Structure 1
Amino acid sequence: MNKFESTFRLLMAKKVICEHSSPLEHAYLSDTSDRSDMNQYLSRIGMTIVKTQDGLGFYCGYESIDNTRKKNEVLKDFETFSQTMEGIVAWLKLARNIDLDSKPIMAGGKLSESELLAAIEESNSLQNQLNHIAHKLKRGNKSKESKTKLRSILDYLVQEGYFISPFSTGSLFIATAKWSLLYETLEFIAINEGMLESEADGENELDTQMELI
């Protein structure tokens, strides 16, 4: 499989491509000429490459939301995200509480499972946070052991593309640029909360929101 094909497949699978998750494909899209070739191909199906605001990742979006099918697909993706949003935001808070520098998770950032577990097991507050996350994400929530819950949550975040685990033991996790897209989505929600309920501008306002998402 050549770089064009592998990149196209990742874009169509709704992946966020960054140097940590997909280094070859990220290098391909970082080249202006190659990205232009891909955009020309994607334009045939009404899609285009979007770069995250921090410049760390690429993903695929519609050039415009101009029909019901596209609107429904975007709404479906947004609803799926909404179902796990609270659990993922709670995870961000947990990770930030454990980090001595209290830094948000960014692409390239590293997490050690053993260090996370040690911190959680020493704090009732962190254990309660972990229990809340396990419940919201429905991962390891039936287990009484923090170790099992933590591993289930980390495996889920790898499955969803937020982390990669470069070693077979899975003890080290590297964040991807999907966190960049998450922050942009949360910012959009914070700024435009209640737009769908507003009756002032009707369908035009919905069109604007769809395009922004």
Structure 2
Amino acid sequence: MSLLLSGEFVCEVRYPDAYRFLAVESNQKDVNAYLTRIGRTLAATEQGGSWYAAYDRIDQDEKRAIKDEFTRIKQKIRFLVEFFVKSMRASEREVFYSRGDKIEAHALMAAIDGNPGLRAEFQALGNVGRGGATDGKMKGSLDRQLRMLVDEGYLVVANAEREIYQVTGKIEYLTEIVQFLMTTDNIADDISEEQETPAQLF
């Protein structure tokens, strides 16, 4: 419960025990009963890979909270999407990342080094993410970008020694946010009671 209330996304990659707990229907009902009492509801991503606490009702305070959170996500979404898209290109993937997929830092760095154009793109991306490439070194910049994705809950460190990262179920939430932004971009300016999608996302 504490994970959900703190805004975490519970998936089998990052929180396997909690995810298994929520996989039981009776536990879902118990958790949802508690969340409902505080104006929240148990929600899952469309692909079912991650659980999170969304707003069950939207009053004025909730509108402000949703607006603030959505603004925060929009500020970071360019970095998030571009990192995964560029990593796809570097790894020669044909489909977008999904939960459980792995990103090997050494292999990614080798691909970047072998492609001057891609290297320039990742260096530019370092200026978008937190703590850009201030030392001028691509490896340091890539490490900071990966740490940011871990801090934001999109990656976990699967093997620290080999620098292997694993994509969490929160990637599904990112995909839904992108799809929502493609249909409307006025949420940060005007959230009306009729707009149900933001409540479902938050």
Tell whether the structures are fold-level matches, with TM greater than 0.5: yes
SS where residue 36 of structure 1 aligns?
A: helix
- Deviations 1:42-91 (Å, cap 9, x if unpaired)? 111011110100111111101121x1111111111111111111111110
Q: TM-score, normalised by structure 1?
A: 0.88
2:172 to 180, 197, 210: 180
Structure 1 residues 128, 168: closer, same or farther in 2, change over 3 A?
same
Q: Name structure 1 gaps, 5 residues minimum.
A: 1-7
Letter in 2 for 1:127: R
Structure 1, 110-119 or 136-145: larger mean CA deviation: 136-145
1:54 to 28, 47, 59: 47
CA–CA distance in 2 between the matches of 1:170 and 1:44?
45
* Equivalent residue, structure 2, for 1:125: 117
CA–CA distance in 2 between the matches of 1:26 and 1:164?
15
- Deviations 1:175-210 (Å, cap 9, x if unpaired)? 001100000011011012346668xxx8445x4454
Q: Name structure 2 gaps, 5 residues minimum.
A: none
- Contact between 1:90 and 1:129, CA under 8 Å: does it hold in 2? no
2:63 to 59, 71, 75: 71
- Do structure 1's residue 35 and structure 2's residue 23 form an aligned pair? no
The structure with the largest helix share of the pair is: 1
Q: Kindly state the Cα deviation for residue 96 of structure 1 after the two structures are TM-superposed.
A: 1.3
2:143 to 147, 151, 156: 151
Letter in 2 for 1:139: G
Letter in 1 for 2:127: H
Structure 1 residues 58, 73: closer, same or farther in 2, change over 3 A?
same
Aligned length: 201
1:141 to 133, 141, 159: 133
Q: Kindly state the Cα deviation for residue 125 of structure 1 after the two structures are TM-superposed.
A: 1.3
Letter in 1 for 2:126: A
* Equivalent residue, structure 2, for 1:91: 83
SS where residue 165 of structure 1 aligns?
A: strand
SS where residue 42 of structure 2 aligns?
A: strand
SS where residue 82 of structure 1 aligns?
A: helix
Letter in 1 for 2:41: T
Aligned-residue Cα RMSD (Å) equals 1.8
Structure 1, 116-125 or 164-173: larger mean CA deviation: 164-173
- Do structure 1's residue 22 and structure 2's residue 11 form an aligned pair? no
CA–CA distance in 2 between the matches of 1:212 and 1:32?
20
- Do structure 1's residue 44 and structure 2's residue 15 form an aligned pair? no
Q: What is the identity percentage for the equivalent residue pairs of Structure 1 and Structure 2?
A: 23
CA–CA distance in 2 between the matches of 1:123 and 1:158?
25
* Equivalent residue, structure 2, for 1:80: 72
- Contact between 2:67 and 2:188, CA under 8 Å: does it hold in 1? no
- Contact between 2:91 and 2:108, CA under 8 Å: does it hold in 1? no
- Contact between 2:150 and 2:157, CA under 8 Å: does it hold in 1? yes
